[in-house]
Structure 1
């Protein structure tokens, strides 16, 4: 494997970025960082995780409500039989399963992590335009989004964002100008 060196280039000047723009870009880059980490380590896709979370929360909330109503004696006052009250205890489980199945099938979240990363990259306004174009070109050539290339781009973009926001100063060329 050939090692490539990437240089932070075409960085927008610090005057062009407001503190709000820098904060927004940092949040977007952190989100892309998390998505790449999840894509490499997750067992399931983003839609599945979302569906499970919402289904569990729905079931737990309805189970709590059903338990509260049952313990308060409200159903006994209405004359609901014990067998019906026991059956009502299973309705929250059923509602959680239906919510999970609905969101898994028709949810708005993408089914794969690379699709979600692609959407977030499309919404990102890069600081280092050349590195972003290089990532686009390498993705077109490969025919798919390579997470290793995204990781390289993220490292370059974090450095460019630090330079553009005046948090980092460009290194002096004392190391490269030293003669040995």
Structure 2
């Protein structure tokens, strides 16, 4: 009985995806047409003044694309009289003045819209890209953990480690010599202090952990853009970097990476149970 009910529900969902309001392909195409329309007719500065509109439209497109994928449908509608239907997803240009110059060189494209073509990616390159993102997320999370209980900032800690390494290196080099013990110890301490101050003075690492986290976040290209924008909004409203909020975002971004790599999955059996 449960299997029969589940089959009926799946068939109903598939019917909605294929045919409701002219189907998923029409929904995707009209959403992308709206993107082009806003850039073409929205007026200068519209997207800058209403940046959340970009987030809404891109999130809508991402949702519809994910729905198409889990339904097992191809990128373009089979047998469509229009080639490449639905149209490719445009990137909404926030800086319209710069984007307009680029778009004039593209034939048949609305001004201010840069067309993104869904070219197949090499699996090895894609794996390397996602692996690099995981490393970046680990660095961000590590900086958050360190900021929670560290004595000094990133530059101080790096200088302290460098000085300690210099102390041990000089101590090991002079240990087997005939120099007096106090002399060996004094040389090691001198090397430690010298390296510490030189490293602290010339290092490019930020003085505070907030500065390091900010630098790492600024250098990260997010997959879940909506979550990244919410993080920007929260930090902007708070006026400081909340490391716990950043760690929450790291968790959301890791989920986005997993979905990017393996697709949407339901990891728990009880979520599949229909009651």
Structure 2 runs not aligned, ≥5 long: 1-58, 70-119
SS in 2 for 1:102: helix
Q: Does 1:21 align with 2:117?
A: no
Q: Does 1:130 align with 2:226?
A: yes
Q: CA RMSD in A?
A: 3.2
Q: 1:39 aligns with which of 147, 156, 179?
A: 147
SS in 2 for 1:127: coil
Question: Could you report, residue by residue, the CA deviation over 1:120-172 in whole angstroms, capped at 9, with x for unpaired residues?
Answer: 11111111011111111222222221222212211211111111111651579
TM-score (norm 1): 0.72
Contact 1:163 1:170 (C-alpha < 8 Å) held by counterparts: no
Q: 1:67 aligns with which of 167, 175, 191?
A: 175
Structure 1 runs not aligned, ≥5 long: 1-8, 72-81
Flag the structure with more relative contact order, 1 or 2, with Cα contacts below 8 A and sequence separation at least 6: 1
Larger Rg: 2
1:19 Cα shift? 0.6
Q: 1:17-166 counterparts in 2 under 5 A?
A: 18-70=126-178, 87=183, 89-166=185-262
SS in 1 for 2:161: helix
SS in 2 for 1:70: coil
Q: Which residue of 2 aligns with 1:78?
A: none
